[in-house]
């Protein structure tokens, strides 16, 4: 494959609003160093954290100028010295595992909103036949995180009831699919009628329109009020990565010995809580962070086997990335926003 010397990319030189993003056409193409492969990027998935990285996160050292985008799918364009040529070859379709502890592509390492990126061969995962670049780019951060939270940490199982707040996002749309695959009953929350209709079509058994309904009242209407004595009422599992004012409220809808799963706090990480519910109802708060290459490979196989389907809200060319990020900020995205390169 012929590799150009200069490439198109989206970069920002300082933290701030979306206006800080610049589309350039003359960035130097990186070289594949020892043990690395140069990947020709075809699709990038955007995440809730991309606008946060652009804005700057206290305590997180983000290298500037920065290229956003942690979810990357593409094809190998060149092998660096020392890469096993029997395992990897030019033209191979690959998904990139963005986590390189303690760093992460798109967060503390330059991301994929560009034509070429050089990454360690150890971070490449083959894309199975029949899986598109767009679908592969939708998976790593959001679907990987959802898999760890629902399967490894949350152990959601058949017959359980699962309430998912903010179910319309990247993590949430995957949580719904994984919970249904596990045989659970799903109550999904969205902030409009249109989003709730789509949640139903995705497989949610019940939906709660949070612009009209109180999610605690609705959950109690469906499952009854949680009881300490008799241990009835409430849901078995709540997925809450929204935080903020939803945190203490959620405890009122959780069953005795229920699990509250969290992987983030979109609306605030330091909310008031109500510890009385945690001890009285013997509730379990379970954190989940990141995912593994095995999770990412398993998700690719599940897509190839048609067990799950990434929910893709929009596909736009790289030059229009700002529109997609603006929709994320405005909560207008259902599932994943993809940018093609
Ligand atoms: N720890 C990890 O490894 C890890 C990895 C990935 C993601 N995360 C975290 O997981 C969470 C979900 O990520 P995501 O990319 O799926 O989506 P996201 O952009 O954080 O949003 C998910 C959903 O939350 C709702 N929402 C957005 N802003 C809100 C606000 N201010 N208040 C209340 N609800 C709001 C929206 O649904 P409605 O408009 O329908 O309500 C949106 O669809 C985030 O907190 C993210 O930081 C953690």
Looking at per-residue pLDDT, the higher value among 188 and 48 belongs to 188
Q: Please tell me whether residues 177 and 72 are part of one structural domain.
A: no
pLDDT tens-digit map of 241-299: 999 999 999 999 999 999 999 999 999 999 999 999 999 999 999 999 999 999 999 99
Q: Is the CB of 331 under 6 A from ligand 1?
A: yes
pLDDT tens-digit map of 100-138: 999 999 999 999 999 999 999 999 999 999 999 999 999
What is the b/e burial string over 213-251, where b = at least 16 CB atoms within 10 angstroms of the residue's CB?
eebbebbbebbeebeeeeeebbbbbbbbbbbbebbebbb
Distance 288 CA to ligand 1 centre (A): 14
Residue 170 alpha carbon, nearest atom of ligand 1: 16
Q: Please tell me whether residues 15 and 84 are part of one structural domain.
A: yes
Distance 248 CA to ligand 1 centre (A): 17
Residue 263 alpha carbon, nearest atom of ligand 1: 1
Q: Is the CB of 45 under 6 A from ligand 1?
A: no
Q: Please tell me whether residues 118 and 104 are part of one structural domain.
A: yes
Q: Which of 95-99, 189-193, 226-230, 253-257 has the lowest mean pLDDT?
A: 226-230
Q: Please tell me whether residues 112 and 166 are part of one structural domain.
A: no
Distance 241 CA to ligand 1 centre (A): 6
Q: Is the CB of 172 under 6 A from ligand 1?
A: yes
- The pLDDT assigned to 244 comes to 98
Residue 244 alpha carbon, nearest atom of ligand 1: 32
Q: Is the CB of 100 under 6 A from ligand 1?
A: no
Q: Please tell me whether residues 193 and 265 are part of one structural domain.
A: yes
Q: Please tell me whether residues 130 and 148 are part of one structural domain.
A: no
Q: Please tell me whether residues 46 and 125 are part of one structural domain.
A: yes
Q: Please tell me whether residues 283 and 149 are part of one structural domain.
A: yes
- Asked whether residue 116 is assigned to any structural domain, the reply reads yes
The closest of 174, 95, 162 to 134, measured between CA atoms, is 95
Q: Please tell me whether residues 43 and 119 are part of one structural domain.
A: yes
Q: Are the C-beta atoms of residues 140 and 71 closer than 8 Å to each other?
A: yes
**How much is the mean pLDDT over the chain?**
97
Q: Are the C-beta atoms of residues 27 and 6 closer than 8 Å to each other?
A: yes
- Asked whether residue 44 is assigned to any structural domain, the reply reads yes
- Asked whether residue 282 is assigned to any structural domain, the reply reads yes
285 by Cβ neighbours in 10 Å (0-12 / 13-18 / 19+) ranks as middle
Pocket test for ligand 1, best of 164, 211, 264 (most atoms within 8 A of CB): 264
- Asked whether residue 294 is assigned to any structural domain, the reply reads no
Q: Is the CB of 338 under 6 A from ligand 1?
A: no
Q: Are the C-beta atoms of residues 125 and 295 closer than 8 Å to each other?
A: no
- Asked whether residue 297 is assigned to any structural domain, the reply reads no
Give the total number of structural domains in the chain. Answer: 2
Q: Please tell me whether residues 146 and 266 are part of one structural domain.
A: yes
Q: Is 304 helix (H, G, I), strand (E, B) or coil?
A: helix
Q: What is the mean pLDDT of residues 65-90?
A: 97
CATH number of the domain that residue 103 is part of: 3.90.180.10
- Asked whether residue 299 is assigned to any structural domain, the reply reads no
Q: Please tell me whether residues 135 and 172 are part of one structural domain.
A: no
CATH number of the domain that residue 218 is part of: 3.40.50.720
Give this prediction's pTM.
0.96
- Asked whether residue 295 is assigned to any structural domain, the reply reads no
Q: Please tell me whether residues 128 and 146 are part of one structural domain.
A: no
Distances (CA, A) of 77 to 2, 88, 130, 133: 8, 11, 20, 15
- Asked whether residue 304 is assigned to any structural domain, the reply reads no
Structural domain of 126: 6-139+310-340
């Amino acid at each position: 494959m012929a590799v150009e010397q200069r490439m198109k990319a989206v970069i920002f030189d300082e933290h701030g609003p979306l206006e800080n993003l610049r589309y350039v056409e003359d960035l130097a193409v990186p070289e594949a160093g020892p043990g690395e492969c140069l990947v020709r990027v075809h699709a990038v998935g955007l995440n809730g954290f991309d606008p946060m990285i652009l804005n700057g996160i206290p305590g997180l050292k983000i290298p500037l100028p920065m290229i956003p985008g942690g979810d990357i799918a593409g094809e190998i364009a060149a092998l660096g010295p020392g890469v096993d040529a029997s395992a990897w070859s030019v033209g191979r379709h690959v998904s990139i595992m963005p986590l390189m502890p303690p760093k992460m592509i798109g967060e503390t390492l330059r991301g994929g909103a560009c034509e070429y990126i050089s990454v360690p061969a150890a971070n490449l995962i083959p894309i199975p036949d029949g899986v598109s670049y767009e679908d592969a780019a939708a998976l790593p951060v959001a679907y990987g995180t959802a898999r760890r939270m629902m399967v490894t940490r949350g152990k959601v199982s058949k017959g359980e009831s699962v309430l998912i707040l903010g179910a319309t996002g990247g993590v949430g749309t995957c949580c719904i699919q994984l919970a249904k695959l596990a045989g659970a009953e799903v109550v999904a929350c969205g902030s409009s009628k249109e989003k709730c209709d789509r949640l139903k079509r995705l497989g949610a058994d019940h939906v709660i329109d949070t612009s009209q309904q109180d999610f605690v009242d609705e959950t109690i209407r469906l499952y009854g009020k949680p009881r300490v004595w008799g241990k009835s009422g409430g849901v078995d599992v709540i997925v809450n990565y929204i935080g903020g004012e939803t945190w203490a409220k959620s405890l009122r809808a959780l069953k005795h010995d229920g699990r509250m799963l969290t992987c983030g706090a979109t609306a605030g990480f330091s909310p008031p809580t109500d510890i009385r519910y945690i001890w009285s109802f013997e509730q379990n708060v379970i954190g989940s962070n990141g995912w593994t290459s095995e999770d990412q490979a398993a998700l690719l196989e599940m897509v190839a086997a048609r067990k799950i389907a990434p929910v893709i809200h929009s596909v736009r060319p790289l030059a229009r990335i700002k529109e997609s990020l603006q929709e994320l900020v405005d909560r207008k995205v259902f599932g994943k926003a993809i940018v093609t390169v």
